[in-house]
Every structure is written in C-alpha cells, then in structure tokens.
Structure 1
Amino acid sequence: MLVNPLSGGVDDNAVAEATAILSDHGCDATVITLESGRLEAQVDEALAAGPDVLLVLAGDGTAGTIAARVGPNGPLVAPLPGGTMNMLPQALYGTTDWKTALGLVLEEGVPLNVGGGEITDLDGRYAFYCAAILGSPALWAPAREAIRSGRLKLAWGYARRALRRAFSGRLRFALDARGFRRAEALVLISPTISRAVDENAGLEAAAMNPSDAAQAFRLAAHALFTDWRHDPTVSTTATRHVRVRARSRIPAVIDGEPVLLRQEAEVRFVRKAFRALAPAPAPAAGDPA
C-alpha cells in the first residue's frame, strides 16, 4: 500500500489506521509512505516485490500516475480516495471515505478492467480514467477548488480570469475520421463513469456551444458540479480517436488535475488501461444479476 501524506484527504494517522485495517483482514501487506521526488522509484520498488494488488491512498493525480505506470499487465490497483475530488475512487467505490473504500476492496473486491483515454501533445502524454475537459470551462476548476478550501478572494480572481478567457478562442475538433468542427469546449468521458456509451464503444464525447457569457457560466457550473448532459447546448456521441486544435494553448482538466495543453493534441480511447480491484458493478435495471 502506497500512502501520499501530502494529499488533501490523508491525515497523520492514515498509515497506522491502514496498517490496522489490513492486519484485521489477515493481509500480508507492506504500507509505504511516499516521499517527495521518489514516487517513480518507490512504485518500481513496490512492483519489484511482486504484489497481488497495489493499494494507493493519494489524490487523483498521483493515483492516475501510478495506474498508468502499472498498465494493463501489472498487478491489480485499488485507487483509494485520498485527495479532494476523488473522481476515480468515487466511480469505483461510491464513497469518498478511504477506510470504507478499503473495507470494500478487501471484502468484496474482484478484478475489473478500467478503460480510459490518453491525451498526447508535444509536451507528453496524459492518461485519464474518468473525464477530461478541454477548453474554457476547464478554467473554472481552480475557482471551484479555491471555493472548496474557503479561499473566496482567490476564487473570485480565478473566476474573473475564466470570464475573460471565455470565447477568446474556440476549439476545433475531429472525432474519428470525421471533419473538424468548432466548439467552446469538448468533454471526454471514460466508460468507467459514462452511462451513455458501452464500455467497448469508446469515450463519450460532448461538444459544448454556449451562445453568450450567461450560458457559458451556467454550462461551466454544470460541467463541474452537476449533470451537464441535460443542458440544451450539449450534444454527445461515442468516439475512439479525437484531434483537437486551437490558436493558443488549450486549458484542460484531466481527472481533476489542471493542465495546459499545446495548440494541437490527440486523444485515443484505451479499452483496458489497468486492472482495478473493486466491488462488481450493480447490474443495470432489466439486466440479469
């Protein structure tokens, strides 16, 4: 088990509490505290030990980095909710309490293939397993995080910047082999959390086209806080490959982490990105148990 003590949802007692829970469940486990600047080396050391499962108590960014490093052929990964957004843990375990999630993993966990996407630009590659927001609505993410932490003055500054950037440059995007279209923003959602596409069909792509600042404000709020699929300015479809272009660098939020992409980027669907240890999903209404 890898624990990041600097994550927003991890306190000083996490290592001791995790050790006790693992012991109570009869696990032969080692709990490691991640150190600044040694993440890759510590992950390599953990993988070299040949574990059956790698438990990760950290934020979305760290958990995603570790899952990408493990890949589809490595051990099972259990990304426990240790950050502020906890997008992937919430999708897999339905809770933001890491101790509850750990109990579910140990008592009900089964191997599950997790699909996602991979964004590539000149700066590198960025994996996501929940969602990526590309375009000006992504600029609202820092404001939201500032509000969550009670820094209202900072949140207002971020909000003003987001309003200034709205409509300053629209995206051009092409889904699969189709021609380029324009949109204010593009949201790509993995089958892990999408209810609109089959797990093998690809990513759910949603193009956002607000007509004015008021709509942009509402749409940004929907994209970051509620279910934006019901918004009349949003249209969705399944896709396996996306090309994105803009006149300036593209603001993005990738699994909750703000990123500034280059002017051109590509996104591809990854059907099996890694194997998670999680409770089996409940069958949908009408499906056999």
Structure 2
Amino acid sequence: MIDASAPAASPDAPLRALHASIRKVAIVVNPLSGGVGPQAAAEAEAILSLYDCEAEVTTLEGAKIPEQIAAALDARPDVLFVLAGDGTARSVAARAGPKGPLIAPLPGGTMNMLPKALYGTADWKVALRRALDEGEPLVVAGGVVEGEAFYCAAILGSPALWAPAREAMRTGKLKLAWMYGRRALKRAFSGHIRFSLDGGARRRAEALVLISPLISKAMVKCDGLEAAAMTTSDAAQAFRLAAHALFDDWRHDPNVTTQGARSITVSARSKIPAVIDGEPMLLGRNADISFLPRAFMALAPRPPAGEDSL
C-alpha cells in the first residue's frame, strides 16, 4: 500500500502499473471544495508520479471551471478523476455519459455519496489509490429528475427540507443549522406528494426515496430504481427514515413500502423539496423521473461477488 504523502518517485524507481489498461490520466481539482484543500493538486501529482501513466493535473478556477472541465473531457483521457464538490462530480459524470471517458469521482465534497459508494471511503487519497491499483471499468446506472442526474439517491418531499440543517450542523455552523431547522419545522408536512410508478395508480406519501442499483440492497438486477414511499405522519420519524435511507434497515419499517420502477411521476400542491445525491434543490410542482441503465462508466474496484456496493 502506498503512503499518500510519499514524495514523487525517483528517476530510477520502478513505476507501478495500473490495474486497468490505462495510459492517459487526467484529474481536475477544486481546492476550494470543503474536502480538498490548497495542497491537493500537488499531493495528487505526487501519487500519480508513482504510476506508469501520462498524467495531467488541472486546478479549477472559479468562473473558468466549466471551460476547464470541457477541455479535460475534450482531451479524451482514459480516465478523468474529479476532486471537487458533489455537484461538480455529478455534473462531470453526466456530461461524460456512457460514451465518454471513464470517470472517477473522488470524495472532495460534503456528503460524498457517489465516491463512498464506489470506493468505500471519504479519504480522497485512499480512493485515488484504490482506483489506480484495483479499478476496472464499471457501468453505473442512475436516474434523471427534471434534467438533473443522480447516481445514488433522490429524496423528494418534506424530509428533504432537513438536509441543509443537517449539513450545517455537520460543519459546525450551529446558527445556520438552527435557522434551517426552524424553516424545516414550519414547512414540514404542509402537504403530501402524489406519485405513480411505471404508469400505475397514483398514491400518496410524505416522501419518496429513489435509490440506484449502485447502492440498493433490494434491486437484485440492474433494471430499475428502488422506489420507497414513506407514509409516516410524524416529522421526526420521517426525517430519521430519510436520513438513514441508504445505510440502515429502514426498509423493514411498516411505514415504508418499496418497489422497483423505471418511470416515476411526482406531483404536489407546491414546489417539491428534494435532495439529489446529497444536494438540496427545489423542483416544480410536477416532476418526472426516469431510470438510466447506463448513465456513465466509472473506474472503480469491482465489488466482491455476493456483497453490496457499500
């Protein structure tokens, strides 16, 4: 195992071969993202120098970011690592699509849902080494809601209002967390959402969680999203279910029903709060969600047979 802080290889030192057939590596780094830092680009260069590959490291700069990402994709590397926020990683994967270069989203954001699902760690240096040492091309399925792609999960409904408060608390911004929490309490359960799965009957719920095959423990085949409807009328209970939806045994709760689906429609009397792969956003009063069986290609270790991705 390589020490992530190790210096660059000496000219006479043998270079490590990559697990996959990769020669051209690119990495884009946003030093202003919460989990990155100003030394990240140099640290990434030091790690990449230990491998037998052509490497290009780009530091993202404010208004230039869209142009820099486009240039990185246009250069057609064998793999493009993304060390940036959750939204940037999700955007790059969406732009690459199934025909673009392999994408390796490293944990540089706040929630890091996608990197954790692929690499099982919140340490970007460990994730980078795992991808380089053990990575193979991996088809990643996902979904798209109103033009926004997601690869882990989408939470729609009132419990999503609590996401900003939770993240503010996680980062120590207590005053902001209190403000978000009060706002969530005022708006919580002011209205239900109605949804339909694959053209079926419309049903009512407090929230709907859509989970990709990458992390679903219920979808045996990669043939749809796991749709979980929450029917509890208790705010604390619903938030607990939504917050732990991806990792715990909440599916056994009598207030939750699950079903596979490829096409989902959701409506409400007002705009629908949502959390898409960890990012809070506000949807319109009506939203359509579709399953993407082949969203993009990742470079990641292959999960052991019979084990979940997480």
Select the residue among 104, 119, 126 that pairs with 2:130.
104
Q: Which residue of 2 aligns with 1:75?
A: 101
Task: Determine if contact 1:55/1:77 at 8 Å carries over to the other structure.
Answer: yes
Task: Determine if contact 2:215/2:246 at 8 Å carries over to the other structure.
Answer: no
Task: Determine if contact 2:162/2:239 at 8 Å carries over to the other structure.
Answer: no
Q: Which residue of 1 aligns with 2:279?
A: 257
Alpha-carbon distance in structure 1 between the residues aligned to 2:214 and 2:306: 14
TM-score, normalised to structure 1's length?
0.93
Q: In the superposition, relative to structure 1, how do residues 220 and 201 fare at CA in structure 2: closer, same or farther (>3 Å)?
A: closer
2:89 aligned with 1:63: yes
Q: Which residue of 1 aligns with 2:189?
A: 167
Q: Offset at 1:218?
A: 3.7
Q: Which residue of 2 aligns with 1:180?
A: 202
- Say which is worse superposed, 65-74 or 49-58, in terms of deviation: 49-58
2:110 aligned with 1:88: no
- Say which is worse superposed, 104-113 or 276-285, in terms of deviation: 276-285
Q: Structure 2 regions of 5+ residues with no counterpart?
A: 1-26
Q: Which residue of 1 aligns with 2:80?
A: 54
Bigger relative contact order, structure 1 or 2, given CA contacts below 8 A and separation 6+?
1
Q: Which residue of 2 aligns with 1:219?
A: 241
How many equivalent residue pairs? Answer: 281
Q: In the superposition, relative to structure 1, how do residues 228 and 153 fare at CA in structure 2: closer, same or farther (>3 Å)?
A: farther
Q: Structure 1 regions of 5+ residues with no counterpart?
A: none
Q: For residues 175-207 of structure 1, what are the alpha-carbon distances to aligned partners after superposition, in whole Å with 9 as ceiling and x for unaligned? A: 002011110000000001111103422000000
Task: Determine if contact 1:132/1:254 at 8 Å carries over to the other structure.
Answer: yes
Task: Determine if contact 1:115/1:199 at 8 Å carries over to the other structure.
Answer: no
Q: Secondary structure at the match of 1:24?
A: coil
Alpha-carbon distance in structure 1 between the residues aligned to 2:212 and 2:263: 13
Select the residue among 202, 209, 215 that pairs with 1:193.
215
Q: Which residue of 2 aligns with 1:13?
A: 39
Q: Offset at 1:53?
A: 0.6
2:54 aligned with 1:32: no
Alpha-carbon distance in structure 2 between the residues aligned to 1:9 and 1:131: 21
Q: Offset at 1:157?
A: 1.9
Alpha-carbon distance in structure 1 between the residues aligned to 2:290 and 2:235: 31
Q: In the superposition, relative to structure 1, how do residues 225 and 276 fare at CA in structure 2: closer, same or farther (>3 Å)?
A: closer
Q: Offset at 1:222?
A: 3.5
Alignment of 1:116-155 (within 5 A): 116-120=142-146, 125-155=147-177
TM-score, normalised to structure 2's length?
0.87
Q: For residues 229-279 of structure 1, what are the alpha-carbon distances to aligned partners after superposition, in whole Å with 9 as ceiling and x for unaligned? A: 233211111000000101100000000001100000100000000000001
Alpha-carbon distance in structure 1 between the residues aligned to 2:304 and 2:247: 24
Alpha-carbon distance in structure 2 between the residues aligned to 1:216 and 1:101: 32
Alpha-carbon distance in structure 2 between the residues aligned to 1:214 and 1:16: 44
Q: For residues 115-174 of structure 1, what are the alpha-carbon distances to aligned partners after superposition, in whole Å with 9 as ceiling and x for unaligned? A: 000001xxxx10000000000000110111011111222212212211221220110100
Q: Offset at 1:59?
A: 1.7
Specify the code of the residue in structure 1 equivalent to 2:47.
Answer: I
Q: Offset at 1:48?
A: 2.0
Specify the code of the residue in structure 2 equivalent to 1:103.
Answer: R
Alpha-carbon distance in structure 1 between the residues aligned to 2:137 and 2:246: 30
Select the residue among 17, 20, 23 that pairs with 2:49.
23
Specify the code of the residue in structure 2 equivalent to 1:76.
Answer: L
Q: In the superposition, relative to structure 1, how do residues 146 and 227 fare at CA in structure 2: closer, same or farther (>3 Å)?
A: farther
Specify the code of the residue in structure 2 equivalent to 1:127.
Answer: A
Task: Determine if contact 1:114/1:275 at 8 Å carries over to the other structure.
Answer: yes
- Percent of residue pairs bearing the same amino acid type: 66
Q: For residues 32-55 of structure 1, what are the alpha-carbon distances to aligned partners after superposition, in whole Å with 9 as ceiling and x for unaligned? A: 011212232112211222211111
Specify the code of the residue in structure 2 equivalent to 1:60.
Answer: D
